[in-house]
Structure 1
Amino acid sequence: MPMPRVLIADKLSPAAIDIFKQRGVDADVKTGLSKDELLKIIDQYDGLAVRSATKADKDVIAAAANLKVIGRAGIGVDNVDIPAATSKGIVVMNTPFGNSITTAEHAIAMMFALARQLPAADVSTQAGKWEKNRFMGVELYAKTLGLIGAGNIGGIVADRANGLKMKVVAYDPFLSAERAIELGVEKVELEDLLARADIITLHTPLTDKTRNILSEENLRKTKKGVLIVNCARGGLVDEQGLRKLLDEGHVGGAAFDVFVEEPAKENVLFGAENFIATPHLGASTAEAQENVALQVAEQMSDYLLTGAVTNALNSPSVTADEAPKLKPFVALAERLGAFAGQMVDVEVKAVDIAYEGEVANLNTRPLTAAALAGVMRPMLAEINMVSAPAVAKDRGITVSESKQDDSPIYESLVRITVTTAMGKRSFAGSVMAGTPRIIEVKGMDLDAPFAPVMLYVNNLDKPGFIGALGALLADAQVNIATFNLGRVSAGEDAIALVGVDQDPSDALVAKIRALPHVKEARTLRF
């Protein structure tokens, strides 16, 4: 297997480059590339490591013939076209936790700076003024801090605020009651938070639901003198509305590290009384820069070398421990899906994957994605387990999973049922001695290994069929590698799965279909 190649297109810590090399990944550092320069070389690489400068847009992704993973050293992936990457089967990873403490500390620092008017007091004092009476601050002790977003960074802010003996209330639709107790916060609705908070700090992604979550209307529902801190994403707060309320004195002060337009060379908030601005410094500490660089190098190396998926935005996560256990089952799911996909000739409406036995206790999301990729590959050659779930959703294919701890015969069994306008077809497989095998087709038991090329024949179980089939294959100089049979009972429905060394011609398959008692014959490729 050739050594994977990664292009480091933005500046990363030298320690990250060392990790790639130590893990057995060839890393080229080429920073400051123009888009044209990047387009010319991107097809040479299996991985692309970026920060925020390099734009992995749809053109770059289209040109990346061999790219398997894009790693963003940091949280925001605005510079990566995730839908384009997904449709091409490229995993997009970020490092959401490497700068969490740094960002949380910046929010706390901004809160202190606002409460004690530190920037203005510094400018005044260094100008030779001694304006003790002008800068009357407020204590944070016993104040109510309103968290909008109580995820990783919000949770760290809550912990620090509890240490300051503040009262913390949190609005987050995904925050469970148990997690709220663990964080030491009171879970509230947004209206309640707006009414109660002395200080509001935001720690949520920018989505259609969170855009302008602090609109002018919502800001007017806050306490007079409230302080607003945003170290998360520009666009969470209505900048025009906030400026109006700062000027009116309803909002006592605001501190922003992020803006709708960045770099923010000018902004409606600049110059407002008690407004503090920093240039998106949330992740800007030496420790955070080192952490995210090391994390992205580890994550990309793990994926390229073992298939482990960590912090992916468009693919199920697979830990390094899980990857070797899942590998044979991923192979089974994909091949079984490919079997199913090649056995249907009309539009797929639904796919159900059932897991029985030990496999039901594994992380089945990657297996389901692999099965979907197999089912759809006959229609879409370029699909893989990264792109398959999104493509299935776009095409209106209903996907369902079921799990059962016990399997009557096998330690583990995977069954794929495909629904089309013609009805349902079901196929089951298992892993034996680390090898995927087909164990059930059309309700008939058999035990067949997958071969690169296989003949599937459905016939009535009558004497002479096997001899006639063998004679046709011999006449066509097609060698039989494996031969496996299943049937309902003597004289009834039967199937033959034949692994062959040569690809049968269409003419040969037509002759097989013309044999007495044959209902169906087709070539399957894996």
Structure 2
Amino acid sequence: MKIIVTDEVAQEGLALLHSDPRVQLDVKLGLKKEELLSIIGDYEVIITRSGTTVDKDLLDAGKNLKMVARAGVGVDNVDVDYASAKGVIVVNAPFGNTNSAAEHTMALLLSFCRNVTQANGSLKGGAWKRAPFTGYELKGRTAGVIGLGKVGGRVATRLKAFECEVLACDPYIAEKRAHDLGVKLVSLDELIRVCDIITVHTPLTDETRNMIGKNEFAKMKQGVIIINCARGGIYNEEATIEALDSDKVIGAAFDVWSKEPPDTDVLKRLIGHPKMVVTPHLGANTFEAQVNVAVDVSKEIIHYLDEQPIENAINIPRFDASLMGQMRPYLNLVNVLSDFIIQLADTNPNKITFSYTGQLAQHDCTPITVCGLASLLNKRVEQEVNMVNAQLVADNMGIVVEEVKSTQSEAFSNMITLTIEGPGERRLISGTLFEGVPRIVKLRDYQMDFRPEEYMLLLAYADRPGMIGKIGTILGTHDINIGSMNLGRREKKGEAMVILSLDSEVPADVVEEARAATDATFIKPLHLVTAK
């Protein structure tokens, strides 16, 4: 295999490739675009950092390219969509900086606790003062880790080494992982209420943006310490300033910002706050991390040569044309079902079961299973999850994935059922295709029949007269239009489940109003991106 390296990459990280007799490694730095285009056709893999643009022209010229390996996290310089269309695998190194980020978290925490930055400036300024810089010990404190992935797990381990009691919140990590780390899984609300130190290690998503704001700060203990080495915007920055000013938060240490470079007035006030220890997004900036990312992409290339699963591919390789033609409608269906059910699951998934009934079960359903698994996991983990690496990610999270097939189906010619199981919780959804369009035909043990829409509201409550009217009145008062309604129930005046298709999303305060009016045992607004 011929591999070209076009940007500065740590040579120590390329040792695996240098030592493999199957590899011819050519390092050619500083090539002009025309020069690279003239030779890229000879290579099967290109290793880059941010200095090489892998665009349509390069991908077209790289007629033998099998893989683009980005020795780093970001792939802004790679046209991933076009690479996918060309059947070129794109890999990156999202976890080469895992240890670096974890250690930086501890560095910031300890810097605050022992007043390192202030004492350093004071002594360098010629003063000899000790009393103003009396610090805090970590021993005996309760530390909360939000997000127990690879970085969060390492931080938890280090906090335990400092003799902290460690609580963790991560609804998408199996209990086994928490047990292995020696930490206790709790709800976000409990973690916020009882912890002396709170550190976040989640991706920035619609779910985690402003996850910690005024309400959450109000629930915290007086004198809490907060850390953010994950993503800017997880803590609401205006609320953070208020919490610092009120002494609810005794100190904070941030490495990341909602806008980088941080040039807004709010960010300038936050960075300049006397209780803040700050750094300019240095979590990944270590010499070792730069070697690690080179090692990681080298391993991915070796995996490809050995025909082993590729862990950090960020696009989906092409399947056999005949298989894709048969499975494509069901890939869409399983994506919709996954999008729906993952929003209903509140606890840690220990097991995910994909069941296929009817004629569909006669065929290889693996592509559907992997696609559905990728869709479920991709909403919950920081790395990009796709059909190449979904099973590996599930294994790392301690999730058991099962596939069940039966050609016997009483109701529909083909049906897919997803079941998510966790501690004290079991969620089930079934769907089929009507003229190629996804339909959901079962939720839990309720027979339903509705077409998924982008905005939906699901309620379960004790069936009694006037409930539908109450729900409609509340939504109408808030100018939320109902497109359709589907009602399921087991018996008269028993529990009822209603699913509403809406023209717009339902704000949190409206959800609470509907909950109170109906005494709902379960209520959930849904945003199905896959149903647009």
TM range (shorter): 0.5 to 0.7
Q: Which amino acid aligns with 2:149?
A: G
| 1:457-502 Cα deviation digits (max 9, x unpaired) | xxxxxxxxxxxxxxxxxxxxxxxxxxxxxxxxxxxxxxxxxxxxxx
| 1:387-408 Cα deviation digits (max 9, x unpaired) | 9xxxxxxxxxxxx96458xxxx
**Structure 1: gaps spanning 5 or more residues:** 317-329, 370-383, 388-399, 405-417, 423-526
Superposition pairs of residues 103-122 of structure 1, within 5 angstroms: 103-122=101-120
| 1:222-262 Cα deviation digits (max 9, x unpaired) | 22322221112223222333234333433222212222333
| 1:66-97 Cα deviation digits (max 9, x unpaired) | 54323233445555554554444332323344
Work out whether 1:15 is the aligned partner of 2:12.
yes
Alpha-carbon distance, 1:111 to partner = 0.9
2:236 to 235, 238, 247: 238
Superposition pairs of residues 72-221 of structure 1, within 5 angstroms: 72-77=70-75, 80=78, 82-221=80-219
Work out whether 1:313 is the aligned partner of 2:311.
no
Alignment partners' CA distance in 2, 1:185 and 1:385: 31
- Residue 68 of structure 2 contacts residue 88 of structure 2 at CA under 8 Å; is this kept in 1? yes
- Residue 354 of structure 1 contacts residue 401 of structure 1 at CA under 8 Å; is this kept in 2? no
Alignment partners' CA distance in 2, 1:60 and 1:217: 50
Work out whether 1:69 is the aligned partner of 2:55.
no
Taking only aligned residues, the RMSD between alpha carbons, in angstroms, comes to: 4.2
Q: Return 86-95 or 208-217, whichever deviates more.
A: 86-95
Q: Return 261-270 or 293-302, whichever deviates more.
A: 261-270
Q: Which amino acid aligns with 2:111?
A: A
Work out whether 1:281 is the aligned partner of 2:278.
no
Matched residue, 2:248: 250
Work out whether 1:47 is the aligned partner of 2:33.
no
- Residue 253 of structure 2 contacts residue 276 of structure 2 at CA under 8 Å; is this kept in 1? yes
1:339/1:144 Cα in 2 relative to 1: closer, same or farther (>3 Å)? closer
- Residue 311 of structure 2 contacts residue 388 of structure 2 at CA under 8 Å; is this kept in 1? no
SS in 2 for 1:270: helix
SS in 2 for 1:119: helix
Alpha-carbon distance, 1:201 to partner = 1.0
SS in 1 for 2:144: strand
- Residue 99 of structure 2 contacts residue 151 of structure 2 at CA under 8 Å; is this kept in 1? yes
SS in 1 for 2:292: helix
| 1:353-408 Cα deviation digits (max 9, x unpaired) | 6489xx99xxx459977xxxxxxxxxxxxxx9879xxxxxxxxxxxx96458xxxx
**What percent of counterpart residues are identical?**
40
Matched residue, 1:497: none
1:13/1:166 Cα in 2 relative to 1: closer, same or farther (>3 Å)? same
Q: Which amino acid aligns with 2:320?
A: E
| 1:147-171 Cα deviation digits (max 9, x unpaired) | 1100111111111111111111111
- Residue 369 of structure 2 contacts residue 403 of structure 2 at CA under 8 Å; is this kept in 1? no
Alpha-carbon distance, 1:194 to partner = 1.6
1:20/1:126 Cα in 2 relative to 1: closer, same or farther (>3 Å)? same
SS in 1 for 2:19: helix
Alignment partners' CA distance in 1, 2:161 and 2:167: 14
Q: Return 63-72 or 129-138, whichever deviates more.
A: 63-72
Matched residue, 2:379: none
- Residue 89 of structure 1 contacts residue 385 of structure 1 at CA under 8 Å; is this kept in 2? no
SS in 2 for 1:249: coil
Alignment partners' CA distance in 1, 2:285 and 2:368: 35
SS in 1 for 2:131: coil
1:310/1:227 Cα in 2 relative to 1: closer, same or farther (>3 Å)? same
| 1:262-291 Cα deviation digits (max 9, x unpaired) | 345784222211222223222233333222
Q: Which amino acid aligns with 1:147?
A: V
Superposition pairs of residues 352-363 of structure 1, within 5 angstroms: 354=361
**Rg larger in structure:** 1
Alignment partners' CA distance in 2, 1:143 and 1:36: 59
What TM-score do the two structures reach when normalised by structure 2? 0.57
Q: Which amino acid aligns with 2:13?
A: A
- Residue 71 of structure 2 contacts residue 93 of structure 2 at CA under 8 Å; is this kept in 1? yes
2:23 to 22, 25, 31: 25
1:204/1:75 Cα in 2 relative to 1: closer, same or farther (>3 Å)? farther
Aligned length: 356
Q: Which amino acid aligns with 1:10?
A: D
What TM-score do the two structures reach when normalised by structure 1? 0.57
| 1:35-56 Cα deviation digits (max 9, x unpaired) | 8887777666433333455555
Q: Which amino acid aligns with 1:237?
A: Y
SS in 2 for 1:150: coil
- Residue 47 of structure 1 contacts residue 67 of structure 1 at CA under 8 Å; is this kept in 2? yes
Alignment partners' CA distance in 1, 2:161 and 2:88: 43
SS in 2 for 1:71: strand
Alignment partners' CA distance in 1, 2:236 and 2:38: 41
Matched residue, 1:429: none
1:224/1:288 Cα in 2 relative to 1: closer, same or farther (>3 Å)? same
1:125/1:73 Cα in 2 relative to 1: closer, same or farther (>3 Å)? same
Alpha-carbon distance, 1:199 to partner = 1.3
**Structure 2: gaps spanning 5 or more residues:** 335-355, 372-385, 390-401, 407-431, 437-532
Alignment partners' CA distance in 1, 2:34 and 2:222: 53
